[in-house]
Each structure stands twice: as C-alpha cells, then as structure tokens.
Structure 1
Amino acid sequence: MRYRALVVAFLALFMGFLTACGQSPTDVSSLSYEEIRGTGLANSCPEITEFRRGSITIESDRSYQLVDLCLEPTSYAVKPEPAGKRQVAKFIEGKPLTRYTTTIDQVQGTLTSDAQGLKFVEEDGFDFQATTVLLPGGEEVPFLFTIKNLVAATQVASNVIDSSTDFEGDFRVPSYRTANFLDPKGRGLAAGYDNAVALPAQADSEELQRENIKQFEVGQGHISMQITQVDEETGELAGTFESIQPSDTDMGGKEAVDIRIRGVFYGRVEPA
C-alpha cells in the first residue's frame, strides 16, 4: 500500500510538471506578474488554439484595423560579405544572444480593400526590438528587428482573408544606435568628440573618417507574411513570416549585412 501511494504521488507530481511546461501562450492572461516574470512567456505571441480555416471579408466601404499584431522570431540567419570575388554570399544560421525581448507586439494599423486587393499600413505599437545574433565563428551581429511604417499588400485582387492570403511589403529600419551613443573613443553624433584624439597621422584614411563621421542611417527591409489560420468569429488570424533587413552599421562605421528573420505571427481584425 505504501508503494502504491508513492507511485500515485509521483504520477500526480509528474502530470503537474507536464501541465506547467505545456502551458500555451494564450494562458498568459490568467497568470500574475510574478508567475510570468523570468519564464519567457511574455515573449511568446498568442495562438489560435484550435486549427481553423475560416475567412474574413474586408468591405471596401468600411474601415478596419489589424490590431494586437505580434511577430515572434524562431530563427535568424546572416548573409555576410563573401571572402573572395568568386565566392557567392549565402545566409548562415545564427544563435540569438538576446533572451526574452525579441518579439514585436501590440502593433496596429489600418486595413483597407480596393480593386487591387488588401493593404495593411502599420501605425503604432512596440514595433522594434534591439537584437544581437552570434555566428558560428564567434562574430556578433547587432540589428534592430522592426516593421516600422510597414506597407504590406496582398498579391491577389481579393477582399477576403483566408488561409491562402499572403501579405508582402517594405518597411523602415532605423539605426540601431541613437544620436547620443558614444563609441569607445568618445565619438558620437550629437555628443562627444568629433574625431579620435592622438591619431593625426591617420586623419586622411577612409576607414578613420567613417568612424569619425557618425550618421543616423535608415535602411529598408522587406517582409512576407503567410496566413495559415483564420477564425472568422473572433477575427483572429495567425501564420508565418520571413523578413529580410539590414544589420547595424555602427552609425556608418561599417557596411550593413542582410539579416533573415523567420517566425510566427498573430493578429486580430476588427472594425475601426
């Protein structure tokens, strides 16, 4: 009897452990701050728990919004410059060094319909995250994961959102550094020194000039979003995305490289 009681207690503890570990991101709303802190659950996008393939019709004479848009990266790849002229640049998978602050969340914008199809214009939200990726050789590549001012449209002339709908569009990529950032030699765009002190002999070198003259560079990225689930009752939609954008240039001190981010997204359509 004692052995049986121990087995029952162990099974109860084991099942409780599995339940806690298998908690879906949609259960976050029922948890307290102390229960979420340090677990990484806040970095996960909501999910549509049941697999659905409904449809949402966007009427041209009405106003709509896409709200609570959340993009959660699941993989990163970097395409560095090739070592030789005959070599072809290709993406190399990297490991994120940024832990629990990699997700873009609570983004919203207008959703319209016309003769060409559907168009989404991003307007507000937590639409950027400072991220760093570690390459196999040890190089660390920082970049600003973002979809600022995204304008994405469907490729098919339809006013219906379903599991075959794809959005594609371009967005702005601001500088990873701000104007008040100072490099190790105290140089900055709006503060600090204008040039590196005690290096007058190299003042005319192109490399040093690029380091001295700081710039707030704004790049451009491109994203493709494939919808796989639609709940027409709640207006929820979910799917996968692939985004390609430039990396940080250290305020003009080095050339940007392409970053490929893949992951999952969630959003909700509602009348404006």
Structure 2
Amino acid sequence: MLAATAPFKPAAAAAAPSAARPRGRCAAAVRCAAARPEGPQGAWAKSYLEVKGSTLANQCPILGADAQQGLGDVKPGTFQLDKFCMEPSSIKVKMPGSKEFEPSTLLTRNTYSLDQMTGSVTVKGDGSVALKQQDGIDFAPVTVKIRGGEMVPFMFTVKNLNIEGKADGLTGDFTVPSYRGATFMDPQGRGAASGWEYVKGLAAAGAQEELAAENVKSAAATVGEAAFAIASTDAATGEIAGVFVTRQLADDDLGSKDPATIEIEGIWYGQLS
C-alpha cells in the first residue's frame, strides 16, 4: 500500500482548453517528440512507414482548438470508452525514507504510453462522472534514473482503474501488478512460483527475518492512486481528453526490498460511443 501522502490532483486541468502540453517543450522524464497530429485518428490515420521511428505511436491524440472545455455538450448517460490512451509527461520518484518526490530521467525508449484501452464512462445528471478501465494495453515496463545514478524500474499501469467525481477532479484507485512475474527467478534461482525456496545454509536465528525477505518471494499486486480531470470534449466526434496524476509503488524485487513511490503526470484521451 502507498504511504499516507498529501492529496494530489491534476494542476490547472479545468482551465486548459486542450489536453496537449506546450509544443516544443519536454518534461525532465520524457523525450521531445515529433509534432502530434490533431483529430480523432491521430497516428492511426498514417501509414506504418510514416509512423515508424517518428515517436507518434507513443503519443496520445489531442483535441483541436474548437473543442469545448470540460464536459461541454456531453449528455448524461453511460458510454463505451474506446482508444483510451495515457501519455506521461513527467515522472517523479520518492525513495524509501525520503519526504519529497524528485525528478527523474527516462531510460526506456518511446514505448511508455498506455493505449487502445477500453472501459466505460458514466455521466450523471448532477455533472459527476465515473470512469472504469476494463481492457487493452494497460501496462508498460518503465525504468527511470534519479540523481546519483540509481535506476528505478516500475510497471506503469492503470489496470482496473475505477475513478469518479466532478469533471475537474475524478479520483480513485487501480491495481498495480508485480514488476516481475511469479515465474521470474533471481540469480540464485529463487522465485515466487518456481525455482528454489531457500538457497542459503543454516544461519543464526537473529538473521532469519532478513533472510526470509530474500528467500520468500511474493508477486502480489499493490494498489495505486489516481486523479483525473476532463479538460475538453467534442460531442460531435465523441472525443474526450484531459490530464492525470497517478501514484504507485515501483519494483520491490518480489518483496525483498522497500519500493520507491512513483508519481506520474500526463495527458489522456479517449472516444465515447
């Protein structure tokens, strides 16, 4: 579980006419990318050769300047959410024992966005919104480097995302699978569902607890926190976009070490039908 932290929310989401970050600028933890196409198709409207090597496949589409702020003319009801996409623009890390999040440098190639996810969006009569994620490419292994050179791997995900609230502040949680699967074995052949269970010889009784953390592997999932905001919609095309902030735990080496906490900010996009 995440340690208790101050409430967090997407910054200035409600006032943003578009979900896009300023062109020509990049956050510390992401690389500069090619100019993204606007409209409901985005990179999907281009051929394979046009997308190959352009970083477009890692980008979420954005809405044009004619999109309405917030929910706009979206009527109350339950909608199917398709092409749900999340693109990080900032990744910060809080190491165990630290009180502050610090910026990081991305080491992963341009494959860190979540895309083609599906789910449902329910708009209620009082203006509140509920969003649930159900399927799709909902996880991406990512590694960042923090000050001092330490590398921090984690599984960027919003699996089983369940959030609700007003358009400028939907909050909830999601499931974070283990970074390493149950069949992964460490250099000494120990794993959660395979390999040796105990590889060290007899040890002093006082060291049993420390040895247990290394020997007894666990691939149990944890719970992450999410805050979304709807920045703009286009009722004619069914497009919806906004910004998000998530917090989740990083890799814990199958339970053998205390994990860092990851805070991810970025933009999201989807199509309602």
- Note whether the superposition's TM-score is higher than 0.5: yes
Do 2:92 and 2:262's aligned partners in 1 also have CA atoms closer than 8 Å? yes
Alignment-derived partner of residue 152 in structure 2: 141
Gap change, CA 1:206 and 1:153, over 3 Å in 2:
same
Do 2:42 and 2:60's aligned partners in 1 also have CA atoms closer than 8 Å? no
The reply to whether residue 255 of structure 1 matches residue 272 of structure 2 is: no
Distance in structure 2 (CA, Å) of the matches to 1:165 and 1:67: 21
The reply to whether residue 75 of structure 1 matches residue 98 of structure 2 is: no
Distance in structure 1 (CA, Å) of the matches to 2:164 and 2:242: 16
Structure 1: gaps spanning 5 or more residues: 1-19, 83-87, 156-163
The reply to whether residue 233 of structure 1 matches residue 244 of structure 2 is: no
Distance in structure 2 (CA, Å) of the matches to 1:27 and 1:119: 25
The reply to whether residue 217 of structure 1 matches residue 220 of structure 2 is: yes
Q: What TM-score, normalized to structure 2? A: 0.79
1:135-176 alpha-carbon deviations (Å, 9 max, x no partner): 111111111111111111014xxxxxxxx5432111111111
Distance in structure 2 (CA, Å) of the matches to 1:195 and 1:223: 38
1:28-69 alpha-carbon deviations (Å, 9 max, x no partner): 234322332233211011111334225143434xx4112211
1:174-224 alpha-carbon deviations (Å, 9 max, x no partner): 111111101111111111111234x43368432221010000121111111
Distance in structure 2 (CA, Å) of the matches to 1:111 and 1:21: 30
Distance in structure 2 (CA, Å) of the matches to 1:257 and 1:242: 17
Q: Which has the larger radius of gyration?
A: 1
Do 2:96 and 2:259's aligned partners in 1 also have CA atoms closer than 8 Å? no
In the TM superposition, residue 93 of structure 1 has moved relative to its aligned partner by 0.5
Q: What TM-score, normalized to structure 1? A: 0.79
Alignment-derived partner of residue 45 in structure 1: 60
Alignment-derived partner of residue 159 in structure 1: none
Gap change, CA 1:110 and 1:217, over 3 Å in 2:
same
Do 2:80 and 2:119's aligned partners in 1 also have CA atoms closer than 8 Å? yes
Gap change, CA 1:193 and 1:89, over 3 Å in 2:
same
**Aligned match for 1:105, one of 115, 123, 129:** 115
Structure 2: gaps spanning 5 or more residues: 1-32
| Secondary structure of 2:163 counterpart | strand
Do 1:56 and 1:235's aligned partners in 2 also have CA atoms closer than 8 Å? no
Alignment-derived partner of residue 13 in structure 1: none
Do 1:168 and 1:225's aligned partners in 2 also have CA atoms closer than 8 Å? yes
Distance in structure 1 (CA, Å) of the matches to 2:183 and 2:34: 42
Do 1:202 and 1:208's aligned partners in 2 also have CA atoms closer than 8 Å? no
**Aligned match for 1:57, one of 64, 74, 79:** 74
Do 1:77 and 1:94's aligned partners in 2 also have CA atoms closer than 8 Å? yes
In the TM superposition, residue 108 of structure 1 has moved relative to its aligned partner by 1.3
Do 1:51 and 1:229's aligned partners in 2 also have CA atoms closer than 8 Å? no
Distance in structure 2 (CA, Å) of the matches to 1:229 and 1:248: 34
Distance in structure 2 (CA, Å) of the matches to 1:51 and 1:250: 47
Distance in structure 2 (CA, Å) of the matches to 1:134 and 1:218: 23
The reply to whether residue 24 of structure 1 matches residue 37 of structure 2 is: yes
In the TM superposition, residue 78 of structure 1 has moved relative to its aligned partner by 0.6
Q: Which amino acid aligns with 1:135?
A: I
Alignment-derived partner of residue 10 in structure 1: none
In the TM superposition, residue 264 of structure 1 has moved relative to its aligned partner by 0.8
Q: Which amino acid aligns with 2:47?
A: S
Alignment-derived partner of residue 6 in structure 1: none
Give matches, 1:162-201, under 5 Å.
Answer: 165-197=168-200, 199-201=201-203
Structure in which a larger fraction of residues adopt helix: 1
Do 1:79 and 1:89's aligned partners in 2 also have CA atoms closer than 8 Å? yes
Gap change, CA 1:76 and 1:186, over 3 Å in 2:
same
Q: CA RMSD in A?
A: 2.2
Distance in structure 2 (CA, Å) of the matches to 1:23 and 1:215: 41
Distance in structure 2 (CA, Å) of the matches to 1:184 and 1:32: 43
